[in-house]
Amino acid sequence: MRKIAVLMGGGKGTRFWPMSVEAQPKQFLKITSGKSMLQETAERIKPVVGEENIWVVTTSSLAERVKRELPFIGDRIIEEPFGRNTAPAVLLSMRVLVEKYGDFNVAFLPADHHIRPAEAFAHQVEACFQAAREEIVTIGIPPSRPETGYGYIKVEKNSSRTIGGFTFYRALGFTEKPSLERAQEMLKEGNYFWNSGIFVWNAQIFLQKLAKFSPRFYNIYEEMGRRDLVEVYRRVEPMPIDKAFMEALPYFLMSRAEFSWSDLGSWHSLWEVLEKDARGNVIRGDATLHETENTLVMTTKKTVVIGVDDLAIVETPHGLLVMRRDASPHLKKIIEKEVNKNDKMG
């Protein structure tokens, strides 16, 4: 059966301002290598599905940029009129692909995650495709700390089995971003995993379960084939596919990740994955640091930093950011407020 990968490339990346702006959101940034995150995502999945079976779902305003980033993509771009989170993006993708192919297996992959090594990821997604012949599948990340910024997947203890050389569990549901106290409890309980946002399923199984367990969104899927798409998007509630579909399922399969993963959802998470000097600093650009530790500096101008610790300092032609590395939730709120007010920041 045909295996397809859909790269979800329509996000704004507001937590990466001022490097990520409306015209160049996070998935187009070259921040962990000489390639953009979208290009890296395509390269990781290419050995599994083949170049000809890679698709991208994104907003119409970013479609031309996707074509420049991925010259091989051709007409395999699914264009949303505007962003409404991942649930409408997934439903529109399924609508287009079902009309073109009928039945198939598909993996939905965020286009802005940092994953190493690529070979381990490819082998694990291949195993997920095997498991998707019978059930909806996702990948869970073993938690390394009581993180309050991620969603969690709860699995049934003693339910593990091996498919394609990887461990799968019967998963019972999601827990949204918990309090610190609850995150600490889940870490101790040992049967909770971070939600990677990676989903794999068979098209017909997906449609059957969508109709049964999430009829409201199944109706939206149907409307996408009958009504004007802009009209549908204006009326649809912005929602992640996790809440619109996955949370409605009584159970699904979760594969325990055997690769290193970060959603790069903040400057702090970028600092975590990049190579540091002896004092824990990450420096990109012409910067001199003195009596400074555990600080991220990315700049296009000569920059001097003295006597501070644990900061993110990012300078681009779009603006200057100076903040504690762990203050990203505040950054997102401030930038989104400025977007609504001025629509010049991204």
Domain match, 253 and 300 both:
no
Amino acid identity at 328: S
Task: Check whether residue 80 and residue 223 sit in a common domain.
Answer: yes
Shared-domain flag, residues 252 and 323 = no
Phi, psi dihedral angles at 265 (to 5 degrees): -85, 5
Q: How many folded domains does the chain comprise?
A: 2
Task: Mark whether 252 and 113 lie in a shared domain.
Answer: yes
- 183/221 same-domain check: yes
Pairwise CA distance, residues 142 & 346, whole Å = 31
CATH number of the domain encompassing residue 200: 3.90.550.10
Nearest to 314 by CA among 270, 344, 278: 270
Same domain, 272 and 231: no
User: Full-prediction pTM beyond 0.85?
Assistant: yes
88-121 pLDDT, tens digit per residue, is 999 999 999 999 999 999 999 999 999 999 999 9
Amino acid letter, 246: M
CA 121 to chain centre: 15
Q: Which residues pair with 256 in a beta bridge?
A: 140
pLDDT, one tens digit per residue, over 181-206 is: 999 999 999 999 999 999 999 999 99
Do 176 and 300 belong together in one domain? Answer: no
Residues 120 and 139 in one domain: yes
Instruction: Give the DSSP H/E element, type plus range, for residue 56.
Output: strand 54-59
CA proximity to 92, closest of 294, 243, 227: 227
173 & 123 share domain: yes
Do 147 and 14 share a domain, yes or no? Answer: yes
Same domain, yes or no, for 215 and 334?
Answer: no
Residues 197 and 319 in one domain: no
Where among 243, 263, 283 does a domain terminate? 263
The tokens describing 212, both together, are 């049964």
Q: Give residue 26's domain range.
A: 3-263
pLDDT tens across the length of the chain (346 residues): 999 999 999 877 777 899 988 778 899 999 889 999 999 999 999 999 999 999 999 999 999 999 999 999 999 999 999 999 999 999 999 999 999 999 999 999 999 999 999 999 999 999 999 999 999 999 999 999 998 888 999 999 999 999 999 999 999 999 888 999 999 999 999 999 999 999 999 999 999 999 999 999 999 999 999 999 999 999 999 999 999 999 999 999 999 999 999 998 889 999 999 999 999 999 999 999 999 999 999 999 999 999 999 999 999 998 999 999 988 878 878 887 775 555 444 3
